[in-house]
Amino acid sequence: MYLLNSLSALKPKLKPYFLCNSNFNCNYYPITTTTTTTKSSITQMATKVDESNVGIFCFISNLPGFRGILKQRYSDFIVNEVDKEGNVAHLTSLDAPQEEIGEETVTTTEDTANTKSYASEIESFRSLAGDSDAKHLEDFINQINSGVEDGISPIVLSPDSDKSHRTAMHNFFKQNFKFLVTDVVDGPDASSKCIRVRLNTGGPRNKGRHSKKRKERGDKPFDSRGSENWSENNGKFLRFHLYKENKDTQEALGVIGKMLGIQPRSFGFAGMKDKRAVTTQRVTAFKQHASRLAALNERLIGIKVGDFCYVKEGLLLGQLMGNRFTITLRGVVADSDDTVKASADALGRLGFINYFGLQRFGSGSVPTHLIGAALFRGEWKAAVSMILDPREGERTVIAKAREYYKESNDIEGTLKQLPRHLVAERAILQCLKKCPGNYLQALKAVPRTLRMMYIHSYQSYLWNHAASLRVQKYGTDQVVLGDLVYCKGDNTENVSGGMPECEDDSYNDADDSNHLDEISGTDLPEERNNLVKVVTAEDIHTGNYTIDDVVLPMPGSRVIYPSNDIANVFHDLAKKDAISLLESVHSVKEFSLTSITGSYRRVFQKPLDFEWELLSYTDGNIPLVETDLEKIAKSKPVKKAREEDLANGNDKNNLVDCTKQSEILENDMKTETDDNEVEGEQEDVLPRVESQEPQMALKLSFTLPASCYATMAIRELLKTSTSVAYHKTLN
pLDDT digits over 610-648, tens only?
999 999 999 888 899 999 999 999 887 654 444 445 444
Instruction: Give percent above pLDDT 90 in the chain.
Output: 48
* Catalytic-labelled residue, pool 133, 248, 274, 628: 274
Residue 337 clears pLDDT 70, i.e. is over it: yes
Summarised one tens digit per residue, pLDDT across range 107-136 is 333 333 344 678 888 888 998 999 989 988
Contacts 24+ apart (CB under 8 A), 162-167: 163/193, 166/193, 166/195
Least confident of 55-69, 137-151, 474-488: 137-151
Q: What SS3 class is residue 616? A: strand
CA separation for the pair 489, 487 (Å, rounded): 7
Residue 664 clears pLDDT 50, i.e. is over it: no
Residue 279 clears pLDDT 80, i.e. is over it: yes
Element at 174 (helix H, strand E) = helix 163-176
Q: What is the pLDDT of residue 140?
A: 86
Instruction: Average the pLDDT over 665-687 and give the result.
Output: 37
Q: How confident is the model at residue 77 (pLDDT cuts 50, 70, 90)?
A: very high
Q: What is the pLDDT of residue 717?
A: 94
Pick from 67-71, 170-174, 566-570, 671-675 the range whose average pLDDT is largest.
Answer: 566-570
Query: CA 424, 427, 429, 435 torsion: positive or negative?
Result: negative
Residue 198 vs residue 44, higher pLDDT: 198
Q: What is the pLDDT of residue 363?
A: 67
Residue 24 clears pLDDT 70, i.e. is over it: no
Least confident of 262-276, 301-315, 488-502: 488-502
- Got the DSSP string for 619-666? -TTS-SS--HHHHHHHHS-HHHHHHHHHHTT--SS-TT-HHHHHHHHH
Contacts of 727 (CB under 8 A, 6+ apart): 69, 70, 71, 72, 686
Q: What is the pLDDT of residue 143?
A: 81
Instruction: Average the pLDDT over 363-392 and give the result.
Output: 91
The answer to whether 81 touches 88, Cβ cutoff 8 Å, is: yes
Q: How confident is the model at residue 234 (pLDDT cuts 50, 70, 90)?
A: confident
Q: What is the pLDDT of residue 681?
A: 34
CA separation for the pair 438, 380 (Å, rounded): 9
Residue 454 clears pLDDT 80, i.e. is over it: yes
CA separation for the pair 424, 449 (Å, rounded): 10
Catalytic, 504? Answer: no
For strand 155-156 and strand 237-245, is the pairing parallel, antiparallel, or unpaired?
unpaired
Extended strands (E) in 477-607? 484-486, 495-497, 531-534, 550-554, 599-602, 604-605
Residue 228 clears pLDDT 60, i.e. is over it: no
Provide the CB-side half-sphere exposure for 206 (13 A, CA): 10
Q: What is the chain's percent helix, strand, coil content, to nearest 5?
A: 40, 15, 45
Residue 28 clears pLDDT 50, i.e. is over it: no
- DSSP bridge pairs for 306: 241
Instruction: Average the pLDDT over 563-579 and give the result.
Output: 95
Least confident of 21-25, 315-319, 359-363, 588-592: 21-25
Residue 188 vs residue 334, higher pLDDT: 334
Residue 325 vs residue 673, higher pLDDT: 325
Q: How confident is the model at residue 282 (pLDDT cuts 50, 70, 90)?
A: very high
Instruction: Average the pLDDT over 466-475 and give the result.
Output: 96
Residue 686 clears pLDDT 70, i.e. is over it: no
Question: Buried (b) or exposed (e) across 596-610, using 16+ Cβ within 10 A?
Answer: bebbbbbbbbbbbeb
Summarised one tens digit per residue, pLDDT across range 304-324 is 999 999 999 999 988 999 999
Q: What is the pLDDT of residue 651?
A: 46
User: 0.75 cut: is pTM over it?
Assistant: no
The answer to whether 252 touches 100, Cβ cutoff 8 Å, is: no
Contacts of 2 (CB under 8 A, 6+ apart): 25, 27, 59, 65, 719
Question: What is the DSSP secondary structure assignment for residue 88, as one 8-state letter?
Answer: B
- Indicate the length of the chain as a whole number: 731
pLDDT, averaged across the chain: 78
CA separation for the pair 249, 282 (Å, rounded): 11
Count of other CB atoms within 10 angstroms of residue 434: 11
- DSSP bridge pairs for 704: 323
Extended strands (E) in 171-227? 180-186, 193-199
H helices then E strands: how many in the chain?
24, 21
Q: How confident is the model at residue 47 (pLDDT cuts 50, 70, 90)?
A: low
Q: What is the pLDDT of residue 690?
A: 59
The answer to whether 26 touches 468, Cβ cutoff 8 Å, is: yes
